[in-house]
Structure 1
Amino acid sequence: MLLIDRLLTATEQGGLLRSEVAAGLSARQRRLPSRLLFDYRGIRLRQDMARLPQFYSARCESEILAARAGAIAGATGAVTLLELGPRSPEVSRMLVAGLAATLQVYVPVEQSRAALVAGAAAIARHSPRLAIRALVADFASELHLLPARGGRLIALLGGMFGGMAAGERSDVLRRLRDTMEWDDALLVGVDMVDDPQRLVAARTDEFGVNAAFTRNILHVVDREFVATFAPELFDPTVAWNPDLSQLELGLRARCGHRVDIDALDMTVELAAGSEIRTETVATFGHGELESEFTAVDLEIDRMWTDSRGDYALVLVRPPG
Structure 2
Amino acid sequence: MTVDVHLAAGQERSLADDVHDGLTRPFKELPPKHFYDAHGSELFDLICEQPEYYPTRTELRILRTRGAELMEGVDELVELGSGATTKARILLEAGQAARYIPVDVSETVVRAAADELADLDVDVHGVVGDIERHLDRLPAPSGRRAVAFLGGTIGNFPPGSRRRFLRLIGSLLAPGDRLLLGTDLVKDPAIIEAAYNDAAGVTAEFNRNVLAVVNRELGGDFDLGAFEHVAFFDRRREWVEMRLRALEPQVVTIGALGLEVDFAHREELRTEISAKFTSERIAADLAAAGLTLRKLATDPRGWFAVTVAERA
If the TM-score is normalised by the length of the shorter chain, which range does it land in? over 0.9
Matched, 1:239 2:238: no
User: Residue 301 of structure 1 aligns to which amino acid in structure 2?
Assistant: R
Aligned position for 1:256 = 249
Identity of aligned residues (%): 31
Judge conservation of contact 1:108–1:120 (CA < 8 Å) in 2: no
Letter in 2 for 1:104: A
Three-state SS of the structure 2 residue aligned to 1:32 is coil
The reply on whether 1:190 has 2:180 as its aligned counterpart is no
* Contact 2:183–2:276 (Cα < 8 Å) also in 1: yes
| Residue 31 of structure 2 is aligned to residue 36 of structure 1 | no
In structure 2, the residue matched to 1:105 is 99
Give every structure 1 segment of 4 or more consecutive aligned residues whose post-TM-superposition deviation is greater than 4 Å. Answer: none
1:130 maps to which residue?
Answer: 122
Q: How many residues are matched?
A: 311
Question: Matched residues in 2 for 1:113 and 1:18: separation?
Answer: 20
Native 8 Å contact 1:249 1:277 kept in 2: yes
Q: Could you tell me which of 48, 51, 75 is aligned with 2:49?
A: 51
Q: Does residue 84 in structure 1 map to residue 80 in structure 2?
A: yes
- Say if 1:28 and 1:273 are closer, same or farther in 2 by CA, change over 3 A: same
Specify whether residues 167 and 62 from structure 1 end up closer, same or farther in structure 2 by C-alpha distance, changes over 3 A only: same
Structure 1 pair 167–148 and aligned structure 2 pair: CA distance change class (3 A): farther
Specify the alignment match of 2:301 in structure 1.
Answer: 308
Match of 1:5 in 2: 4
1-side partners of 2:119 and 2:227: how far apart? 41
Residue 87 of structure 1 and its aligned partner are, at CA, apart by 4.1
Q: Distance in 2 between matches of 1:50 and 1:223?
A: 25
Per the alignment, residue 58 of structure 2 pairs with 60
TM-score by length of 1: 0.92
Deviation for aligned residue 1:295: 0.6
Q: Distance in 2 between matches of 1:58 and 1:87?
A: 13
Paired residues of 2:299 and 2:305 also in contact (CA < 8 A) = yes
Paired amino acid for 2:94: G
CA distance in 2, matches of 1:148, 1:296: 22
2:91 maps to a residue whose letter is L
> Residues 83 and 109 of structure 2 are in contact (CA less than 8 Å); yes or no, is this contact kept in structure 1?
no
Residues 148 and 180, structure 1, Cα contact 8 Å, conserved in 2: no
TM-score, length basis structure 2: 0.94
Letter of the 1:86 counterpart: S
Q: Any idea what the Cα deviations from partners look like across 1:208-243, whole Å, max 9, x if unmatched?
A: 111111111111111222211121211010122122
Tell me if structure 2 keeps the 8 A contact 1:81–1:155: yes
Equivalent pair of 2:113/2:124 in contact (CA under 8 Å): no
Contact 1:148 / 1:179 at 8 angstroms: preserved in 2? Answer: no
